[in-house]
Structure 1
């Protein structure tokens, strides 16, 4: 049979795939009959009596496999794809899946680049090392991580996986630390809701081959660990012992939730995401040693208290996202992030204040700013000669900020702030302000200062019944979006600017508002009412 595609759907009485016995027991088959020798696509869906499945991939001609809602107690869903962009595999397991080799032919997966496993047993070390092309590994609710960690046949092993995501796993800090020590090329690390990991430590790599020793001339002298002799060797051993057997390392050995990032990640890790929303709030120490880090996202974490002169994050950061983070009072500890282009702050406490923002804004590269859930953040922000800080008084009134999202109309729509942003701000999102019912005259006048604005969006302001007057003066405005503002009654006084190309008023229940919008048909390119 020369079929290249086999699709089986809605077959409630199908007990077995026609090619299965040939695949599983080829020695028992008549080799004059070759079942599907060029099969490229296999799809099985809603066949509840199909209990046995072929191992994937049993032939190199396979390019696509989709299996779901079958009777097998091994797998809930399986997707395999091979294309010019690479080979990817996704598995959602069931209760009888005790080993991934029940589903997979690992010696035929050497080209696999992306693997996502969910509700599956641990990926055995002997199988992991066979996946020599694997670049991205995602493990969601696995029974265990990779195990057992250790030598592979008496040989120290490494894997060149670059992206690693772990979600809702009961892995211990010690086990995870051991695994990371074998991943020298890791550039992206994502940890989500792993409740047994409670603290992060920037550790020291036991395999580090060069270390720095201060000489009498105050110059750093590099010594190879394996060749160092005499007194210098003694100094090196003492310093390394102090570091490796410090409090963090001792605690890690006791397996009390410490995750140690090994030293080789200092120059490879470019993105770190930690989400610990749940029972345990992960404590995150200073990360300035991670000199390759470009993106950092922390959600549900705790930071130690920092003075304004202490900088917990590396100056290489381009994007910083902080959600439900405890321990921050001002933005002054971020003042070293002069390369930062994006800063998101969501629900980081009522006491978080703006101090330090102007340094980022005027001396840095900040282009994207989100501040929500900190109601007093903008209080007292007046970038004018009246500032107490002499350094901030001397800052130039330049701005690169193009996008601002806030839930605080009163804090942002003041003349000094809008004057500072007037030349750069193109997108303003007002999201979830539960206090604003209408805009004051001062706020309307401040908004009119944003002459570069292209997009204005107001969302989930449930008490808002009146839009700001004077929107027609925003002569560069292209899009006005009002979403989920059920109290809104009408369009603003003075009308809309002639530059407007899009008007979106979905989820706003007033019939009067919708009628006003319909009358604008023909004058505005696109109008969305629902």
Structure 2
């Protein structure tokens, strides 16, 4: 009730004693409220009226309780959930709670069980009021003093801290925890109570530029931890720990044991090869290892059994020489457990080890090496006289292989021995001229990007998915009609390939040639740089496709879909000149339509909605994504009787017109509403609450939206997703959360 100024009357225990929930929200003008008229009255008498109150939520009512010295709630023993937002009180005293939310409390200094104790002031007081705490959220409380580490108890299932100067930004939910801080130097028990984090399975340390140390003994308490991620911590070298080892005190390093660890991810960190070697030697079940931008690691090798057995292995792994500081020795115990290995952005990384290379990793099914030219060169080996690349240094168990920056002397990629390979990706290899895959009989997906000299592709008869882009010399895709298993084709046309296709299509059309350019099995077709000349013949050859994506085709002016009667999904994006779609009304199986950044198509869709038989098309549509809000007209929305998902994606959109908001109310079947990359959108639809079937609201990168609609949300809503949105909107959504409505960040 944004205009409410007064709420006064005669209240007493006869009215309030049975009250279970009290929520006062979004009343920015409210300045007189009998229940909170004065601190002295509330403290002396009124707080005793709420003998049964279990939940109290006050938000965006900045004028009530203004400048109270304290909000005294400790004697309200039935209170289990407390949410306070945008209040001007200095202290809050509380009973034992299950949920506590404090947001935008600009002068709040203390939160405790009794004044003048600080927030979590002592172990005894902490146990008194936090032993039952399950959810704790503190956002934008710049004066709050927190004198103890978090989380306060092991039973907490949800934790979110942001905008508290004495604390790092941290969150915990669903047994996953993250922490980030520009000031944090050491992550130890003074910051986190690791004993209370025993149950977490995932821990991410991100954007901590000054972090230099992770105490091993503290982290070793995370006995259930399965995934550890360290991202953007350039000064985290762990050199202090390793110096203790070199001086003979190995207790700190040897105690770094994460028995349940299955996945380790490091991105742009200063971690040394020596420290990672020591850490991984204790990981008996590691399945996923990702290294991205670790400049301290120059060499990669595989340890032998004698180097990793027993406690003496630590000495042999870290005390041999200074050069070992730069070498990551993958422990022998990983040979049978590691399934996924990703190494990226390591230009100088070299493989140093035995002649078998990675072949000893008998369980490795996924290998991705990107921007690691030296490593790729050493693992591929030399090219034989017959042009075959020796890949004996790669494990035959591989099912997914992704390589970039192949050696410059490698002109032909013709692997042997990868009999289980299902997915292959080759990228950023400007000297590569041919790819021949006859021996890869299990291969299903092939992606080649940025290979500018590539002119020959062979051995693709077993493929189900083919993706080619940035291969400007590729002018021939001979025999594609014989790829009888091909289901999905993504192709970025270049002038040479466009010309070749145009000639073949014309010849086929003029001569009645029965040999098609594409196999009849093709179901999904994704194409970039499509021209009018090619499309006029192309789509008539694809009557069976069910999914068509046309992207970044700047010269395309018209599209003929009359032959694509089986089409179910159509996506058009960044086609600046496209102004006409013919035959859309014949696509009667269409269930999904996406039109993005193609300014000429808004009026085109409006015209289609008035054509005879158009209602049959629109009535079957279930998903619609648009960047032009003018499409939301009353004639069109009236026909969208089956629409379940609507997405608006447009950076320039500021607001919806009254007509567009009215048209939205006609979408009676709408289940999911997405706003994506609407950077300038100032508000959500005012009448959003009238979408009575809406269950899921997604708001992604819409930083200008700062509040929920004044008229509220639909009663049917069950989920809100927020991604990179304003803090103000996030706080409002948290305040709107209930047992039925969940909010995800």
Q: When the two structures are superposed, what TM-score results if normalisation uses the length of structure 2? A: 0.56
Aligned residues: 463
* Equivalent-residue separation in structure 2 for 1:334 and 1:30 (angstroms): 63
* Equivalent-residue separation in structure 1 for 2:341 and 2:578 (angstroms): 48
Match of 1:346 among 427, 449, 459: 427
Q: 1:353 to 1:314 in 2, by over 3 A?
A: farther
Name the SS of the counterpart of 2:335 in structure 1.
helix
Name the SS of the counterpart of 1:343 in structure 2.
strand
Q: Which residue of 2 aligns with 1:17?
A: 111
Deviation track 1:137-189 (CA, whole Å, cap 9, x = no partner) reads 11123342556255337977743222111111112223322322232322111
Q: Which residue of 2 aligns with 1:296?
A: 367
Match of 1:323 among 404, 408, 427: 404
Q: Which residue of 1 aligns with 2:133?
A: 39
Q: 1:462 to 1:205 in 2, by over 3 A?
A: farther
Taking the TM superposition and a 5 Å limit, the aligned residue runs for 1:136-151 are 136-142=227-233, 143-144=235-236, 148-149=241-242, 150=245, 151=250
The answer as to 2:523 corresponding to 1:454 is: yes
Would you identify which runs of 4 or more consecutive aligned residues in structure 1 move more than 6 Å? 153-157, 248-252, 434-438, 462-465
The answer as to 2:251 corresponding to 1:152 is: yes
Q: CA deviation at 1:499?
A: 0.9
Do 2:213 and 2:236's aligned partners in 1 also have CA atoms closer than 8 Å?
A: yes
* Equivalent-residue separation in structure 2 for 1:30 and 1:420 (angstroms): 72
User: Where do 5+ consecutive residues of structure 1 fail to align?
Assistant: 211-225, 227-239, 384-397
* Equivalent-residue separation in structure 1 for 2:556 and 2:253 (angstroms): 71
* Equivalent-residue separation in structure 1 for 2:433 and 2:201 (angstroms): 44
Q: Which residue of 2 aligns with 1:203?
A: 303
Larger deviation, residues 515-524 vs 131-140: 515-524
Do 1:448 and 1:470's aligned partners in 2 also have CA atoms closer than 8 Å?
A: no
Q: Which residue of 2 aligns with 1:391?
A: none
Deviation track 1:363-406 (CA, whole Å, cap 9, x = no partner) reads x21111100111232x24466xxxxxxxxxxxxxx833111110
Q: CA deviation at 1:316?
A: 0.3
Match of 2:477 among 414, 433, 451: 414
Structure number with greater Rg is 2
Q: Which residue of 2 aligns with 1:103?
A: 191
Do 1:275 and 1:298's aligned partners in 2 also have CA atoms closer than 8 Å?
A: yes
* Equivalent-residue separation in structure 2 for 1:192 and 1:336 (angstroms): 28
Q: CA deviation at 1:309?
A: 5.9
Do 2:241 and 2:253's aligned partners in 1 also have CA atoms closer than 8 Å?
A: no
Q: Which residue of 1 aligns with 2:644?
A: none
Taking the TM superposition and a 5 Å limit, the aligned residue runs for 1:48-447 are 48-52=142-146, 54-72=148-166, 74-75=167-168, 77-81=169-173, 83=174, 87-118=175-206, 119=208, 120-142=211-233, 143-144=235-236, 148-149=241-242, 150=245, 151-152=250-251, 158-160=257-259, 161-207=261-307, 253-255=322-324, 257-276=326-345, 280-284=347-351, 286-302=357-373, 303-304=377-378, 305-307=381-383, 308=388, 310-311=390-391, 312-326=393-407, 329=410, 332=413, 334-347=415-428, 349-360=429-440, 364-377=441-454, 379-381=455-457, 399-407=461-469, 408=471, 411=474, 414-416=477-479, 418-421=480-483, 423-431=484-492, 433=494, 439-442=501-504
Q: Which residue of 1 aligns with 2:571?
A: 504
Name the SS of the counterpart of 2:535 in structure 1.
coil
Q: CA deviation at 1:516?
A: 6.0
The answer as to 2:84 corresponding to 1:7 is: no
Do 1:121 and 1:144's aligned partners in 2 also have CA atoms closer than 8 Å?
A: yes
* Equivalent-residue separation in structure 1 for 2:126 and 2:478 (angstroms): 85
Q: Which residue of 2 aligns with 1:221?
A: none
How large is the RMSD of aligned CA atoms in angstroms? 3.6
Name the SS of the counterpart of 2:275 in structure 1.
helix
Q: CA deviation at 1:92?
A: 0.3
Q: CA deviation at 1:21?
A: 3.2
* Equivalent-residue separation in structure 2 for 1:92 and 1:425 (angstroms): 45
* Equivalent-residue separation in structure 2 for 1:333 and 1:433 (angstroms): 25
Q: Which residue of 2 aligns with 1:486?
A: 554
Do 2:448 and 2:467's aligned partners in 1 also have CA atoms closer than 8 Å?
A: yes
Do 1:137 and 1:165's aligned partners in 2 also have CA atoms closer than 8 Å?
A: yes
Q: Which residue of 2 aligns with 1:234?
A: none
Q: 1:472 to 1:511 in 2, by over 3 A?
A: closer
Do 1:342 and 1:366's aligned partners in 2 also have CA atoms closer than 8 Å?
A: yes
Do 2:220 and 2:255's aligned partners in 1 also have CA atoms closer than 8 Å?
A: no
* Equivalent-residue separation in structure 1 for 2:190 and 2:327 (angstroms): 34
Q: 1:17 to 1:468 in 2, by over 3 A?
A: farther
Point out which structure has higher relative CO (alpha carbons under 8 A, 6+ apart): 1
Q: 1:330 to 1:357 in 2, by over 3 A?
A: farther
Name the SS of the counterpart of 1:425 in structure 2.
coil
* Equivalent-residue separation in structure 2 for 1:264 and 1:368 (angstroms): 31
Q: CA deviation at 1:200?
A: 1.5
Do 1:365 and 1:400's aligned partners in 2 also have CA atoms closer than 8 Å?
A: yes
Q: When the two structures are superposed, what TM-score results if normalisation uses the length of structure 1? A: 0.77
Name the SS of the counterpart of 2:434 in structure 1.
coil
Name the SS of the counterpart of 1:168 in structure 2.
strand
* Equivalent-residue separation in structure 1 for 2:253 and 2:525 (angstroms): 62
* Equivalent-residue separation in structure 2 for 1:419 and 1:4 (angstroms): 64
Q: 1:47 to 1:483 in 2, by over 3 A?
A: farther
